[in-house]
Structure 1
Amino acid sequence: MVIAELQRKTIEQLNPWVMGKELELGIERKNYLTKIDKVVKQRQQILFLLGSRRVGKTMIILQYIDLLLRRGVKATKILFLSLDNTNLSELDLYTLLADQKYQYVFLDEVHRFPKWAHILKSLYDIPGYKTEIIASGSSSKEILDNGAYLTGRSTQIKVSPLTYFEYGQFVLDKTKVDDYLYYGGYPEYVLTKVPGYLNELLRDIIEKDIVRLHPVRNSQILLDVCQMIAKQLGHPGSPNKMSKVLGIDSKTVVNYIEYLREVQLIAPVYQYAQTLNERLYAPKKYYFQDLGMRNSFVGFADMGALVENAVYLKLIHDYGEGNVMYLSRGREGEIDFVVKTVQDKIMLVEAKYIDLRESVMNKLSKLMWKNDYFDQVVRRVVVTNGVDEVVEKGGVKIELIALEKFLCRDGLGNVVT
């Protein structure tokens, strides 16, 4: 295949390991390397790494390339292409990859390349095609909208901002919970703490990942919706009420919330319910996917809500977004999180950022002590500000766990190492 000189030079620059040059790898995110390795070793599907801008997808890819090189894979058998690079916009990608010259191909920002889904499908369908393809994208909408072309041919790994444990690795373990709650988990921001970084990132996300794809007339309204969500973290949101405050129709609010979800700025939490209709039509609660981004809207305020958001992020990391819900029963109260664990067993979790045992107990929802709504409750957990003990009443045990201790444990209660 003949490659234009500009394309050849660009590819050479993107693949420095071929020339024996070392990679700039940053701090290893081992959890994702393990996940990628598991999928790649199965040798069955195209792998997509999905996540918001600057969440670390490209660095994770480079870290995995370094892992392959250390395992003895020849440098010339690994190809990395940044497909949002304008120098590669006319590249004949199918022909380049069809002859299986490469053992591993990494396609960064794949959704920015023309007809990318058709190309990947055609490659996958070549009889005996063995090249491992790992692609990344900051627009989950564009990738998922093209999912029909890749049905049965692809799988996904979501890349999220740093967990509390990862945050500690990035700042050499010299961390306090308050720092994590303040800065959040965007890797570059955690390392540099440059003022205005998150505001610039937010503008990029809105202009390049939302306005480019959706009929948004006024991007300021998107920011206003974000700010309202930031102010009412942990409370069921009503598009109708938001629309009255913002002076727009409720359908527009619903659409804008969906756009913000698509780019992984926010995430919905559904009501725990016995029927699908009740679950879908009950009001949703919303949380931010990054704590620092939330703070960029309302400042480092309302620690109770901020801690609740941190607890949510920990729970979805351990159990997955679809398994984390909430329960509200009017006068009987509300449980912050109802979590489906292994074999559909239930864990109840409340966030009460209080440092006195008596105050924690007084704030607990009555529902935390009941068994009426759940068949198999295996744990009841209350995340506190330093209170650590187990309390019992009427045969029901509740674990009071300090926030830092909670964030440092995995879904089974083991200390993360």
Structure 2
Amino acid sequence: MPINDIINFNTWWETGTVNDTPDYKRPLFYELTKYLDERQIIVIYGLRRTGKTTIIYQLIDYLLKNNIKKYNILYFSFDYSNIELRDIIEDYEKYILKKPIKMENSKIYIFLDEIQKLPDWENKIKIYYDMYKNIKFIISGSASINVEKKSNESLAGRMYDFILKTLTFKEYLTLRNINYDINNIKIYASTLGDLFNDYLSKGGFPEIVYEEDAGKIKRYISSIVERISLIDIPEEFHIKNIELLKNILNIIRDQPGFILNYDSLSKDFQVSKETLINYFYYLEYSLIISLVLNFRGSFTSASRKMKKVYFYNSSFLYNYKNVLDYSYYGKLIENFVMQELGARYYFRDKSYEIDFILKNGIIIPVEVKYRNNVNTKNFVKVLKKLNLNYGVIISKDEFMDDIIDNIKIKILPVWYLPLIDVKTLK
């Protein structure tokens, strides 16, 4: 690649500034600034279109404003070229620094975007990390299984990894300039409920926060799922059965939260059980789906069987059907609660089920009932069976605190859940 193309990535070499970075900064930005002086590599990974490149440019802007020399900052995106890292660094030394990096007395910051597209990237970066003590690598990648897994395997002890998720509902409200008083939240119930529905449809993806056209929103969300499942995964794992991936995704869309039975699906799809296990693995680690384990009395004994399957982001469901019927919307809300809580467990035996079980120093059972005037009778029965004296129900709009048979029940609206700290649920 000609040096001019590398120069085009690094406009601050000429201007001394970064153009058009958003004023709003994600919470992760402030967390990352704490590690810029550390020796370790910063690894940022997450879904496509969550704003990883934006946060990189904001970090570069931060460095420039803190008097880091403009020529000591190098950015490159492998989304646009398959050039080797060695060639990038050699051209940078020759044409920009005009000396070897090891001869530079101050730190060199090297930002590498979409790193998963560079073959054997983890070992190539490891070589430079070990050879040059004054290089600070900040790398990002969209394919979770490639970036997170490989960095942990080859760069253990040499890196800090961070996941950039989609916008939270709080962040969405901030960007929409919506003010509310958390201590008098019921006053804002109608407004926040409507905005929450809009937030669900957009999935917290920053680029479409202000988009109002439902068709454009649907196409945007669909393009993310299709890109990852039909291009990224096949390229990364060299799989050819694209139809099987499509069929798996359609089942999850039709039945979010279904219990995974590899034997049954193997017969339905006429493929081996091992193949199915691999495909679900690819989808989970590419941040398309989330698997939730069956809690069997303790977290260490959670069953590896009877896993529930959800989408990693609820917008993948919201934009599936043109019209959301009430029962399907209830499953969509259940998917969102799993996503919001980061839930990894649920409870089910022959007679009883609880949607999610959280571990927060203590066990917190969470049931999703997307309606008002919630009946707590069955929930209380299950809590008694598990010897628990507390539970949370996620409703449509209802607030309530009650004590039934010495069991404390808290009922909260789904739109209120993302506005509070989950740790305060008990």
Q: TM-score range by the shorter chain?
A: 0.7 to 0.9
Call closer, same or farther: CA 1:362–1:183 in 2, change over 3 Å: farther
Note the alpha carbon deviations across 1:58-116, whole angstroms, 9 max, x for none.
11211222223333333222221112322744752454587155532211011222432
**Number of residue pairs the alignment of both structures matches:** 392
Gaps of 5+ in 2: 94-99, 179-190
Shift of residue 277 of structure 1?
A: 8.0
* Structure 1 partner of 2:142: 138
Aligned to 1:176, the other structure's residue is in SS state helix
Query: 2:62, 2:422 → 1: CA distance?
Result: 27
8 Å contact kept, 2:368–2:394: yes
* Structure 1 partner of 2:346: 326
* Structure 1 partner of 2:376: 361
* Structure 1 partner of 2:260: 237
Alignment of 1:240-389 (within 5 A): 240-274=263-297, 278-299=301-322, 300-301=324-325, 302-316=328-342, 324-331=344-351, 333-341=352-360, 344-356=361-373, 359-362=374-377, 364=379, 366-372=381-387, 380-389=391-400
Query: 1:35, 1:309 → 2: CA distance?
Result: 28
* Structure 2 partner of 1:61: 56
* Structure 2 partner of 1:168: 173
Query: 2:312, 2:176 → 1: CA distance?
Result: 20
1:125 corresponds, among 130, 148, 154, to 130
**Structure 2: which amino acid aligns with 1:392?**
I
Alignment of 1:60-99 (within 5 A): 60-86=55-81, 88-89=83-84, 92-93=87-88, 95=90, 96=92, 99=101
Query: 2:199, 2:53 → 1: CA distance?
Result: 23
Note the alpha carbon deviations across 1:37-63, whole angstroms, 9 max, x for none.
23335x142111111222221112112
**Structure 2: which amino acid aligns with 1:165?**
K
Aligned to 2:423, the other structure's residue is in SS state coil
Call closer, same or farther: CA 1:311–1:157 in 2, change over 3 Å: same
**Structure 1: which amino acid aligns with 2:349?**
R
Note the alpha carbon deviations across 1:223-257, whole angstroms, 9 max, x for none.
21012112222232212233333343333222211
Aligned to 1:40, the other structure's residue is in SS state coil
8 Å contact kept, 2:101–2:108: no
Query: 1:280, 1:109 → 2: CA distance?
Result: 36
* Structure 2 partner of 1:179: 198
Superposition TM-score, scaled by structure 2 size = 0.83
Query: 1:46, 1:266 → 2: CA distance?
Result: 28
8 Å contact kept, 2:18–2:60: no
**Structure 2: which amino acid aligns with 1:23?**
N
Shift of residue 157 of structure 1?
A: 0.9
Shift of residue 329 of structure 1?
A: 2.0
Moved over 4 A (4+): 93-98, 274-278
**Structure 1: which amino acid aligns with 2:336?**
A
* Structure 2 partner of 1:392: 403
Shift of residue 399 of structure 1?
A: 0.9
Superposition TM-score, scaled by structure 1 size = 0.85
Shift of residue 24 of structure 1?
A: 2.4
